[in-house]
Amino acid sequence: MRASIYRNFLFRLHPTTTAKASKITNHTRNIMSESDQSTGFSTPRLVTKKVLAKLQHEGEGAVVRRSIGRSELKFLDPFLMLDDFSGILVVVVAAVSPPAGFPDHPHRGFETVTYMLQGGITHQDFAGHKGTIHTGDVQWMTAGRGIIHSEMPAGEGEQKGLQLWINLSSQDKMIEPGYQELLSDDIKTAEKDGVEVRIIAGKSMGVQSPVYTRTPTMYLDFTLKPRAQMNQSIPESWNGFVYIIEGEGVFGKPTSSPVTAHHVLVLGPGDGLSVWNRSSKPLRFVLIAGQPINEPVVQYGPFVMNTQAEIDQTIEDYHYSKNGFEMAKYWRSQ
């Protein structure tokens, strides 16, 4: 009976998905790009798919806008999920309000990146790690072989942020858990010609982030003033996407139609992205790209492995508090 309860809880938290990384990669590669002299790239990346992040309920009273990880875009190797959370907590632009949030829940086999846009979230786990991230702060958590933690609103008012799930290769799925935490003031920035960028991971305008990405990843937060334009190089072998936080912009080529907030734009092949803000208001978006892992993905809620047998073992490990979940037996968040 207890195992059945666990299974139902985990499935509600995040539904089961199965994917092969190569399918999306090959689909993206088959779409031809168009060049434009104003981009400065030999092969500018164009938008191959547009997905509106729709509201849904997660955790306890939390509301999120999920883009990656829903039926229209289940997986974009190496990215598993993107939530914009509001009203309480969690992964890609969302909001959170007390007492809603994400009480004690497990992870295995991937990383979570939580980026606060407004308010704060308090995190604690079964290994004794505890802290609060506030507006502009980032927590980069490597779940590895196992973490059980809670993520709850810090204080009153609405909490907003993005949470991204990044897959780990088979050789890294069972590593020891770890954290990288960046305060807002420690995140490097650059600015030029009406374009400002916060460099969470990777490099932009000659500025490199100190964050170590076990799965090579670029995570850039851009703000463009009205009538500003930007060009950002992206490694050609990487998959990439844009999530628009506010405003509207033209992406890929100057003749494209403007796209508004809460859309994810999947980028086709090429060596860089160009963006134009032709509106009278600022445009803010994150540009995220990563090196594909090209391995099978089997997901059961918050567990992401390579085979169904590994998922079955993970559920058993969680249920019996072993193989990385030993401290779960008596731990409860405060």
**Contact present, 97 and 159 (Cβ < 8 Å):** yes
Residue 105 marked in a binding site: yes
Instruction: Determine what percent of the chain falls in helix, strand and coil, rounding each to the nearest 5.
Output: 15, 50, 40
Residue 149 marked in a binding site: yes
Amino acid identity of residue 262, one-letter, is H
**Contact present, 270 and 215 (Cβ < 8 Å):** no
Between the two ends of the chain, the Cα-to-Cα distance in Å is 26
- Alpha-carbon distance of 122 to 245, in angstroms, equals 23
Helices vs. strands in the chain: H and E counts, helices first: 3, 28
Residue 107 marked in a binding site: yes
Of 187, 196, 217, 186, the C-alpha closest to 285 is 196
Tell me whether strands 296-300 and 283-290 are parallel, antiparallel or unpaired: unpaired
Amino acid identity of residue 205, one-letter, is M
Amino acid identity of residue 36, one-letter, is D
Helix (H) or strand (E) holding 310: helix 308-320
Q: Which residue has the tokens 């590895």?
A: 144
**Contact present, 21 and 306 (Cβ < 8 Å):** no
Q: Specify binding-site residues.
A: 105, 107, 149, 151
Q: Specify binding-site residues for Fe cation.
A: 105, 107, 149, 151
